[in-house]
Structure 1
Amino acid sequence: MAGESMYKVIVADDEPFMLEGWRTMIDWQGCGYELCGTATDGEEALELIGTVNPDLVVTDIQMPVLDGLDLIRTMREELKYDSQIVIVTGYSEFGYAQQAIRYRVNEYVLKPLVPEEIHELLRSMIVPLDLQRQEMEQLYAGEQFAAAELLDTPAEVNGTLEETDLEKMTSHAKQMLSFMEAGDVKGITHAIDEMLEEMQTLRSGLSLAQSIVLYIHGELLRKYRVLGEDSMLLQEQAWHQTERWITGDLKELFVRITETFASAGQSDPGSGGLVTEAVQYLKQHYRSKIKLQQLANHIHVNAAYLGQQFKREMGVSFSEYVHRLRIEEARRLLRRTNMKISDIAFELGYHDAEYFTEKFKALTGELPSLYKNNSQG
């Protein structure tokens, strides 16, 4: 039975199979949460939010009546809710950077659900939830009011924020991610100094800085989950304790993450960027027939060298990685559509349905037909 210390969650998604997955595949209580209800559209979710007053809202982007972004905008701008927010999307590339920053989205996950990843994300969110709870307790007790006020994320960031400020901060966020991934310590040091300086000069600077940090945190969680062997970097309190950012905690954390990327690429300087670029390209083009030579030409590098570095960094060959991307998409299509298996094979670049079936079974352990029947009941 969930105790009072459990954090309350609601989930909004218009797909019955997704909602069932959230109900049955996720060990909410084991991670410290209580699932208090589910909704199939944004309006239902708003009603549920008013009843439950959840600590965490998990919402799909695409829903009827009121979609996920409209739901979040209403929560933040009109209802002034400070709940933590996780976005769920079926897109391989998250194209909502400005909205994520504007509406203070905490994290986001990609479909299909991978329980281990969701559990890791839920555990990582306990830190900001604990801090928010402590802040409210301090506020109600009338103690350390200044600290509680500093930790607050005022809703006016949404109402009074200039588009130029939002664009500037979005640019900051993406630039800082680039510096981190490139292992550029000098670049990230300068960028974080610049952000902290603007945080103190802009009227909504603190709220913007908090939103940028949440966005960067979400990006790193989605793309890496574990940074090298130092998995604790994404769970540190420095992500959320804004009153200590000025003393250098956030800067130190960002530098450590950047150094982790730098050390990961030391065995072969420059190869990490190539492999990252290759992976991004493959995620966009895996449906078409693509050869290693074609990819190597695209990123201007020797094909044999790229193939060697790709396998070393990714743990699988170039062709095997393409198969994995295709089969993952096949699983989604089998679950969510009524497409024929032969059509799915053709859609994903397989011109032989038997070969597709063979690869599907090799990677998932079952035939596509059985997977479809089991997934759709």
Structure 2
Amino acid sequence: MRKVLVVDDEPYMLEGWKTMIDWNAYGFELCAAASDGEEALKLADATQPDLVFTDIRMPGIDGIDLIRKLREKRHPGSGGGPKIVIMSGYPVFDYVRRAMPYKIERYMLKPLIPEEIHGLLSELAASREAPGADAAADAGGTAEPPGGAVGRVIEYVKEHYRETIRISRLARLVGHHPVYLGQLFKQKTGYSIPEYVHRLRIAEARKLLRRTNHKIAYIAQQLGYHDPDAFTGKFKAMVGVTPSEYRSGVRQD
């Protein structure tokens, strides 16, 4: 079994990593979980994980500093040590650029769903079994932020995700056919354009549920969901609980 360390400063999400992911099915075991970078470094020294999932924005040592320190401990400059997956509720690809020198396996936008994690674990398990996989990995190959047309689409969506976004308009914006743009976006990011929009909205919804007392119907409307029930359904599908359950769980913690 390959060992996994998860670093997430949200207790509610940290619990989900422990209970919602079938690690053993892919040859992994969750050996440790930390809520901040300092704790993660201690646990990494103690457990020597093969795979690390880490949030970016955390108190004290943030995700980028954590990654840097992990790499410095294992063959500085060569990308040695565990495979690292960045996860964040903030779709800011500057984080990816800062992390690129440290050989990042994947950048994933929260909220994550179990199927998404299972898919990644399956890929990692398959790549590990492929002949010469480790040597190829050591030779390089870092996650790169989407560029060109996809980068422009991401910037536009980040500015307008609260509004109705039509793929036809995005296609005109970047000069591509809508079908081709959809395929290109999926290839570069792993998400369809509608999925990406929903992820931005739900990430913002989680922040509003934690930080404000706004009614759920109001939050839904502000994020472009005219039907509160549709918002609740999408939130539960992506986070695993309803908005009201999420808010209650955060406040209990």
1:191-230 matched pairs, under 5 angstroms? 206=139, 210=140, 213-216=141-144
Instruction: Tell me if structure 2 keeps the 8 A contact 1:333–1:339.
Output: no
2:99 maps to: 100
Report the counterpart of residue 373 of structure 1 in structure 2. 244
Q: Are 2:37 and 1:38 aligned?
A: no
Secondary structure at 1:54's aligned position in 2? coil
Match of 2:7 in 1: 12
Structure 1 pair 361–15 and aligned structure 2 pair: CA distance change class (3 A): closer
2:112: which partner in 1? 113
Q: Report what 1:62 is aligned to.
A: 57
In the superposition, the TM-score normalised over structure 2's length comes to 0.71
Letter in 1 for 2:113: V
Distance 1:326 1:151 in 2: 34
Contact 2:68 2:102 in 1 (8 A): yes
- 2:223 paired residue among 348, 351, 368: 348
Instruction: Give the counterpart letter for 2:86 in structure 1.
Output: I
Cα RMSD, aligned residues only? 4.3
Say yes or no: does 1:299 pair with 2:173.
yes
Q: Return closer, same or farther for 1:312/1:118 CA change in 2, 3 Å cut-off.
A: closer
Aligned partner of residue 82 in structure 1, secondary structure? coil
Amino acid at match of 1:344: I
Distance 2:19 2:207 in 1: 21
Match for 1:91: what amino acid? Y
| Partner of residue 87, structure 2 | 88
Q: Is the 8 A contact 1:330 1:344 kept in 2?
A: no
Letter paired with 1:83: P
Shift of 1:97: 3.6
The residue number in structure 1 matching 2:189 is none
Q: CA deviation at 1:291?
A: 6.7
Please give the alpha-carbon distance, in whole angstroms, between the structure 2 residues aligned to 1:54 and 1:291: 41
The 1:27–1:298 alpha-carbon spacing in structure 2 relative to 1, beyond 3 Å, is same
- 1:6-32 alpha-carbon deviations (Å, 9 max, x no partner): 101111111101111111111111111
Deviation of the 1:111 alpha carbon: 0.5
**Counterpart secondary structure, 1:299:** helix
C-alpha offsets along residues 173-217 of structure 1, whole Å, 9 cap, x if unaligned?
Answer: xxxxxxxxxxxxxxxxxxxxxxxxxxxxxxxxx5xxx0xx2315x
More helix by percentage: 1
Cα gap change, 1:39 to 1:286, in 2 (>3 Å): same
Q: Deviations over 1:200-237 (max 9, x none)?
A: xxxxxx5xxx0xx2315xx68xxxxxxxxxxxxxxxxx
In 2, the alpha carbon distance for the partners of 1:127 and 1:333 equals 35
User: Taking structure 1 as reference, are residues 120 and 294 closer, same or farther at Cα in structure 2, changes over 3 Å only?
Assistant: closer
The Cα of 1:33 is off from its aligned counterpart by 0.4
Query: For the residues of structure 1 that align with 2:15 and 2:220, how far apart are their CA atoms?
Result: 27
1:53 correspondence with 2:48? yes
Shift of 1:296: 6.3
Alignment match, 2:202: 328
Please tell me whether Structure 1 or Structure 2 has the larger radius of gyration of its CA atoms.
1
Q: Which ranges in structure 1 are unaligned for 5 or more consecutive residues?
A: 1-5, 136-149, 154-205, 221-272, 315-319
Residue 310 to residue 214, structure 1, CA distance change in 2 (3 Å): closer
Change (3 A) 1:64 1:293: closer
How does the TM-score come out when normalised to structure 1? Answer: 0.50
- After TM superposition, the structure 1 stretch with the greater mean CA deviation from structure 2, 34-43 or 118-127, is 118-127
How many angstroms apart in 1 are the aligned matches of 2:27 and 2:124? 10
Partner amino acid, structure 2, of 1:348: L
CA distance in 1, matches of 2:167, 2:25: 47
Aligned-pair CA distance for 1:71: 0.8
Q: Which residue of 2 aligns with 1:281?
A: 156
Judged with a 3 Å threshold, the aligned counterparts in structure 2 of structure 1 residues 361 and 14 are, in CA distance, closer, same or farther, namely closer
One-letter amino acid matched to 2:206: R
Evaluate the alpha carbon distance shift between residue 108 and residue 325 of structure 1 in structure 2; reply closer, same or farther with a 3 A threshold: closer
Provide closer, same or farther for how the CA distance between residues 342 and 82 of structure 1 changes in structure 2, counting only shifts above 3 A. Answer: same
Deviation for aligned residue 1:37: 1.1
Cα shift at 1:72: 0.9
Distance 1:48 1:14, change over 3 A: same
Q: CA deviation at 1:43?
A: 1.0
Q: Which has the higher contact order (CA 8 A, sep 6+)?
A: 2
Give unpaired runs (5+ residues) of structure 2: 186-193
What's the CA shift for 1:123? 1.5
Equivalent residue in structure 2 for 1:29, among 21, 24, 27: 24
What is the DSSP-based 3-state SS (H/G/I as helix, E as strand, rest coil) of the residue aligned with 1:88? strand
Give the counterpart letter for 1:104 in structure 2: K
Distance, in Å, in 1 between the alignment partners of 2:174 and 2:100 is 34
